[in-house]
Amino acid sequence: MNIVVGTAGHIDHGKSTLVLALTGTDPDRLKEEKARGITIDLGFAHQIIDGVNVAFVDVPGHERFVKNMLAGAGGIDLVALIVAADESVKPQTREHFDICRLLRVPAGVIVLTKADLVDADTLELVQMEVRELVAGSFLEGAPMLPVSAKTGEGLDALRTALAELSGRVLGRDVDGVTRLPIDRVFTMKGFGTVVTGTLVSGRIAADADLIAAPGGRHVKVRGVQVHGQKQPEAAAGQRVAINLAGVEVDDLSRGQALVTPGAFEETRLADATIEVLPGARRLKHGARVRFHQGTAEVLGRVAIIGGQEGQDRQDGQDRQDRQDRQDPSRPAAPAPPAPPALEISPGARAFVRLRLEAPAILARGDRFILRAYSPPVTIAGGLILDPRPPRTAIRTAAALARCQQLAFDPAASDRVAVEERAVAVMVNDAGVAGLSLAAMTSRAGIDPRHVDARVAALVGAAQAVRAGDVLISATIYTQLKDGIVKALTAHHKAQPLSEGVPREELREQLFARGHAAVFDRALADLSAGSPPAIFVKDRVALTTHRLELTEDEERVRAALERAYREGGLRPPDAAAVAAAAAAPPPVVDRMLKLLVRQKTLVKVDVLLFHDEALKALKAEVAALKNSAGTAARIDVATFKERFGVSRKFAIPLLEYLDRERVTRRTGETRIVL
């Protein structure tokens, strides 16, 4: 059993001293930290407590280093909220506690440090204040233990509490995609580049190929350490140190993550729900914020999607107040419909679109923290709903409805229904391009092993159609099929003598931005019905389409066909054609083209032959081989004689046979293949 415990609490409240007392390791490792007596960056220690492997992430309490605290808090299972008994609740006690609450840390302990410095009455007062702080939160009812690192009082009780709480830790996704947010990068003599972090999902084995993202650099795992021991493999939930080959320290930094290749796409846009802290200022539409997820901090802006819960009443009241001030004697005019809110009130929730100034690696279901740009105080926390939303308008009712469809509680048990809803939304977003099965994992956050089941459910419910490795919305697919029928109908009407639209032309006309597999599937479906709606060859046509020729055209067509059939391998020349047709040249020309399209006549070089004549020729030449045994040969002279044609026809016909792979030219003769 492995758990990661993070400290939290105000500066100087004894977090690092407590970790040292519990583990024997001083988490403050920087020279500057020792000199100033404060923690600046994350510190790490570990200890086996009652058979549980406990990793400690010690965070700084100083308000200037909350960003470092956030990099550590991202991966913890339990929090040890530290409150010094002689100082009680202070600003960063609240801020760190808020952060843990917003990140949905599932459980924790409250430690009242420096118990040796206060009397029983003071301790009781502090206990009351802390209980008040955590009332109604995940820490309501958590163990609250007075401890002294100086006398050792309470340390055993704390160890017992941590071991007991380890049973409440949520299981990590060990078999999912690998994701290790990097919190430290350094070189080690004899090893080279080492990164550390809390492995939030998947596994990392020696020799694994991973990607450092954002950035996309390929790295190879040379070695894996867990709690200072070399291991063949690390699994989600462990603190790990990874020795990497093929990458320099300067190429990596905190905020990147080591991930399975292809499992994530970098993004600068995400849709999310957020909850603004009750004590924060109003969050304005377009506000610049610091976005913290995993170990990353990225600047960005928050745009409010649609309206928000709990905002309408407030707006109405404001309007009423204004009207009352303006003219108390006039009856209040009916309020105009409220435009979507342009700010989020303290304590309220809203759907937002995050526009980041640098790329991030995000997954649906990721928790994050927003801090104000300046001063950098924590203002909100949230949950990623869609890490790659379409670039569509967001100040609309439709955008709001879309987010409501995507909203979910990762802790709830209705996962299947939630995933099906999300895929339905994303399939709609994808339009004619379709949603790739790969994106169902990278964007909708579905375990690759469940992708087939979700696809089957959507297809079964007639919400989507699968074509190759994409899913397309059933509505769009029907529109596409209707579009094909419409285009063919129009084409047949405009060009009654054409036998249809060339397949590629049809695709470009209707489906330039779409996925080729979807178009192929549509053609297949339309031609598979009974009766089929279309014929698909090189050209696509409606099955109801008949060439409608005038009587005169039909006479010319038949006459021409007869002339070429009778001509055989000696087709009629221009004069003979004109004589046979006895019609104006444009009609003759049209009918010849029709015969070629229908493949009744075949163009060989500049000559036209009846298809039957060529078929007979091929069969007869091929038969030479069967009768003459292995190496049947034919040259121009024998060909002329055998088929009774002049050189004018013999040469193009022999070259035609070469192209058709009936014969192969070697020097002056040809081998029958």
Ligand X SMILES: Nc1nc2c(ncn2[C@@H]2O[C@H](COP(=O)(O)OP(=O)(O)OP(=O)(O)O)[C@@H](O)[C@H]2O)c(=O)[nH]1
| Contacting positions for ligand X (CB under 6 A) | 11-17, 38-39, 60-62, 113-114, 116-117, 148-150
DSSP helix/strand/coil, 36 = helix
Q: How far is the CB of 11 from ligand X (least distance, A)?
A: 4
Q: How far is the CB of 379 from Mg ion (least distance, A)?
A: 25
Classify burial at 120, counting beta carbons within 10 Å of its beta carbon; exposed 0-12, middle 13-18, buried 19 or more.
exposed
C-alpha R_g of the chain: 38
- Secondary structure in 3-state letters for 2-41: EEEEEEECCCCCCHHHHHHHHHCCCCCCCHHHHHHCCCCC
Q: Which does 571 bind (CB under 5 to 8 A by kind): Mg ion, ligand X, none?
A: none
Q: Which does 113 bind (CB under 5 to 8 A by kind): Mg ion, ligand X, none?
A: ligand X
Q: Which does 293 bind (CB under 5 to 8 A by kind): Mg ion, ligand X, none?
A: none
* Under rule CB under 5 A, residue 238 binds Mg ion: no
The nearer residue to ligand X, 26 or 658, going by C-beta atoms, is 26
Cα–Cα dist 530/541, whole Å:
16
Q: How far is the CB of 308 from ligand X (least distance, A)?
A: 36
Q: Which does 149 bind (CB under 5 to 8 A by kind): Mg ion, ligand X, none?
A: ligand X
H or E stretch at 358: strand 349-361
DSSP state of 341: P
Cα–Cα dist 79/134, whole Å:
13
* Under rule CB under 5 A, residue 96 binds Mg ion: no
Cα–Cα dist 304/400, whole Å:
10
Q: Which does 95 bind (CB under 5 to 8 A by kind): Mg ion, ligand X, none?
A: none
Q: How many CA atoms lie within 13 A of 306 on its CB side?
A: 17
Residue with tokens 């603190």: 239
The nearer residue to ligand X, 82 or 107, going by C-beta atoms, is 82
Q: Which does 196 bind (CB under 5 to 8 A by kind): Mg ion, ligand X, none?
A: none
Q: How far is the CB of 158 from ligand X (least distance, A)?
A: 12
Cα–Cα dist 431/391, whole Å:
13
In angstroms, the Cα distances linking 56 to 47, 231, 243, 467, 667 are 8, 19, 21, 49, 84
Q: How far is the CB of 227 from ligand X (least distance, A)?
A: 22
Token reading at 455: 């696809």
Peptide bond into 375 cis (omega under 30): yes
DSSP helix/strand/coil, 335 = coil
Q: Which does 198 bind (CB under 5 to 8 A by kind): ligand X, Mg ion, none?
A: none
Residue with tokens 């996309």: 216
Q: Which does 23 bind (CB under 5 to 8 A by kind): ligand X, Mg ion, none?
A: none
Residue 499 phi, psi dihedral angles, 5° rounding: -90, 10
7-26 residues near Mg ion, rule: CB under 5 A: 15-16
Residue 403 phi, psi dihedral angles, 5° rounding: -65, -35
Q: How far is the CB of 13 from ligand X (least distance, A)?
A: 4
Vertex 10 angle, CA 123 and 281, to 5°: 115
The nearer residue to ligand X, 65 or 519, going by C-beta atoms, is 65
The nearer residue to ligand X, 149 or 296, going by C-beta atoms, is 149
The nearer residue to ligand X, 14 or 255, going by C-beta atoms, is 14
The nearer residue to ligand X, 114 or 353, going by C-beta atoms, is 114
Instruction: Name the closest residue to ligand X (Cβ).
Output: 61
Scanning 35-43, 126-134, 240-248, 354-362 for contacts with Mg ion by CB under 5 A, the matching segment is 35-43
Token reading at 36: 């100033």
Scanning 36-44, 132-140, 559-567, 627-635 for contacts with Mg ion by CB under 5 A, the matching segment is 36-44
Cα–Cα dist 549/188, whole Å:
85
Residue 290 phi, psi dihedral angles, 5° rounding: -105, 120
Q: Which does 117 bind (CB under 5 to 8 A by kind): Mg ion, ligand X, none?
A: ligand X
The nearer residue to ligand X, 11 or 360, going by C-beta atoms, is 11
The nearer residue to ligand X, 62 or 203, going by C-beta atoms, is 62
The nearer residue to Mg ion, 25 or 137, going by C-beta atoms, is 25
Q: How far is the CB of 456 from ligand X (least distance, A)?
A: 53
Q: How far is the CB of 86 from ligand X (least distance, A)?
A: 8
Q: How many CA atoms lie within 13 A of 558 on its CB side?
A: 7
* Under rule CB under 5 A, residue 39 binds Mg ion: yes
Count interface residues toward Mg ion (CB under 5 A).
3
Residue with tokens 């055993």: 156
One-letter amino acid for residue 2 of the chain: N
The nearer residue to ligand X, 117 or 541, going by C-beta atoms, is 117
Binding interface with Mg ion (CB under 5 A): 15-16, 39
